[in-house]
Amino acid sequence: MNTHRFSCRNSFTVLIAVAVMGLLFSGCPSIINNILQGGPASLANGLVIEVISVSIPEDLRPVVIFTIKDSKNKDVALSELTDARFILGYLDEPETGSTARYISYITRIENPDGQPNTGDEAVQSNYDSARLGGVTDNGDGTYTYKFAAAVPANYDAGATHQIAGQFTRLYPVDGQVYPYNMAETFLPDGGDVTATREIVSTETCNTCHTRLEFHGGNRREVQLCIMCHSTQSSDGQSGNSVDFAEMIHKIHMGEELPSVQDGTPYQIIGFGNSVNDYSTVVFSQDIRNCEVCHTNAPQADVFLTNPTKAGCASCHDRTWFGNPDLAPEGWEVHVAGEQVNDSLCSQCHKPTGPAPSPILEAHRLVSELPENPGLALNVLEVVTTPPTPEKQAEGTQITITFAALYGDGSPVLALNALNSITARIGYPAAEYETTFGESLLTPAGTLVNNNDGTYVYTFAGTVPSDSTDTFAVGMEGRIAFTHDETTFRQGTSTNGLMYFTLNEEEPEPRREVVSDAKCNVCHNDLHLHGANRVGVQYCVVCHNPSMTDVSRRPGDQLPPETVNFKDMIHRIHSGAELENGYLVYGFGNTLHDYSNVGFPGKRESCAVCHEEGTYELPVTEDALSTFVVNGEEVVRDVLPERAACTTCHDSLLANVHAIVMSDIGGGVETCAVCHGPGKDFDVEKVHALAP
């Protein structure tokens, strides 16, 4: 039989360990609790606040009972909370056709200059002032929050109320602060909630924004936002409303706001008198696509079923709904004259006809216009014809068979029905170095019309006969049409991209780093260069490591700038975060300055754009250096890993670091030694979002 001896020495060791634990965990009883309940493995970060009940007692100061949990549903001690803020409001349901809005019981005078109140200052909804001082421990795993403010004596106990909160927890184990937002509806009289305001969802916002984080980063949920950003709230310095619906519409309209185009900037003056100017915001797709935001929420279709002056005029902000005789200069008088309230809006603005101005018809995208015939271009077959032995230097001829179809699938029987159409070849597909395209409206090669919507085209240009590379061929084009006396251009919905080799080897398609689906989360239907070109895998055929804007850049603006896809997209999306900006010249020598672009999401979250496993180090051996020449002068030769990182991190220090850690002459980069998977500065680790 084994006998376990417990000596004094063992006892002393345990006492020391307990003492150390006491020092480490003083003020952190929840951690000790977790250890006692399940050992160190049960320690957990995170924060979850659950409201058990809300009541309004006789003193009219609301009382909230709630719990504090971690990510493993274990109790968290009150001492770990660094803030607890509640806001309470009721749902005001007007009788004039307007949508219901939450009205906060608590407001404050917005007087950022610290001057005495004059009575003319703006009012803003606000949190209750008690904060952590209003919280008491009930000793049973629940906590009570007592409001410092009281609701009015005549409050409506039968109206929907919403309690919302903002909380933060400092987790001693990792030193991180974990925020949490909550919002719950209830009726003070105990009845069932039947009326709410849930028009947009946080989940939908985060498809582009990655994670909403405002006012210091701790306010993240739309239902919390609308409690402060109510119809009561305005910016005292700019005079602009900060009601959620109006403010968000205007921010997303940005440079397209009629008021901005008329010369009035759209600004909100924020904390510390910071000027937040949204006049240059460019929405990432057609702003008429209301369903981008209005989806995935119980009342997401309210813009169709219950249009209002406030909602519509926040985008159409130079429309005058008042007395036509009093319309300010430059404003457009509402066609139906004065509108004293919202009760008649839905009579004319129904979702669809018959109605004087149906909403969906007024907001149709180009792709949805009834006259739009649509277009698809699909490569069906590639045939390669090697030269005869005596003409080997002339290269291999490429012949493609392709289909041109209208949107309904019917054949395009004559290519002159199109506004443009080009077939393009690029190689090697692993990392394109050579590309050429030929217009089929004025073909340099041989074009045969099969009179059934299919065509056969033999390129005038040839490719090297001795190549063992994979080649790519694809198509671009658009069709013009007229709607309401305006000419529009619709690009092809397909690029027909096909890979092929000159021998019988199986082609190896180019690696897929980003996908059309990920781009279109924000861009919806990404067509570029006059709507001609579609598809990331087609874009990279031209936007390869040696491509620059030299053919478009004026001579007095040299040297050229790279438009390699990787460099270009990183820098465009970094925009205003770049230290050195990004300016390129396009068609017609037009300057495109991306230095003020504001990316809506979290740039550090590479997976927003990248496919899984495509942004880790080391990069694939196929990746080439970004190469820029100005005549005979090499302006830039940037190794691929440095190019990937320093197109976002473009500071001098970051570039020097990358250069020092590389053998430029030998083409060797050592980035993965520190930044590779599992290393101290793993890309995944350093780009991880804070809690």
Task: Kindly tell me if the per-residue pLDDT of 32 is higher than 60.
Answer: no
With beta carbons less than 8 A apart as the criterion, state whether 562 and 547 touch.
yes
Residue 101 in tokens:
């809005």
Q: How far is it, in rounded angstroms, from Cα 418 to Cα 373?
A: 10
Domains 44-228 and 365-532 share a fold: yes
Per-residue model confidence (pLDDT) at position 167: 98
Give the HSE-up count for residue 333: Cα atoms under 13 Å, Cβ half-sphere: 12
Q: What is the pTM of this model?
A: 0.90
Percent of the chain at pLDDT exceeding 70: 92
For range 276-289, the mean pLDDT: 96
Chain mean pLDDT for the chain: 92
- Residue 312: its pLDDT value, please? 95
Pairwise CA distance, residues 512 & 622, whole Å = 13
Neighbours of 686 (CB within 10 A): 12
CA distances 658 to 506, 614, 639, 671, Å, are: 37, 20, 9, 8
Instruction: Look at residue 42 in the predicted model and tell me its pLDDT.
Output: 55
* Count of other CB atoms within 10 angstroms of residue 58: 5
Structure confidence at residue 392 (pLDDT)? 73
Q: Tell whether domain 44-228 is in CATH 3.30.1760.
A: no
pLDDT greater than 60 at residue 86: yes
| Contact yes or no for 307/339 (Cβ under 8 A) | no
**Of 28 and 381, more confident:** 381
Q: What digits encode the pLDDT tens for the residues 507-529?
A: 999 999 999 999 999 999 999 99
Mapped onto helix, strand or coil, the DSSP state of residue 25 is helix
Report the pLDDT value the prediction gives residue 388, as an integer from 0 to 100: 86
In percent, the amount of the chain with pLDDT more than 90 equals 88
Structure tokens at 606: 């590479």
pLDDT for res 113: 56
- Residue 689 is classified by DSSP as P
- Give the start-to-end residue ranges of the domains of the chain: 8-41, 44-228, 244-364, 365-532, 543-691
Please say whether the beta carbons of 608 and 284 come within 8 A.
Answer: no
Which residue is it, tokens 């409201």?
51
Closest by Cα among 204, 160, 203, 206 to 185: 160
Which pLDDT band holds residue 112 (cuts at 50, 70, 90)?
low
How far apart are the C-alpha atoms of 273 and 665, rounded to whole Å?
A: 51
Bridge-based pairing state of the strands 332-333 and 319-320: parallel
CATH of domain 365-532: 2.60.40
DSSP percent split of the chain into helix, strand, coil, nearest 5 = 25, 25, 50
Distances (CA, A) of 362 to 251, 302, 308, 642, 664: 21, 16, 15, 47, 56
The residue type at 401: T
Closest CA to 645 of 681, 680, 678: 681
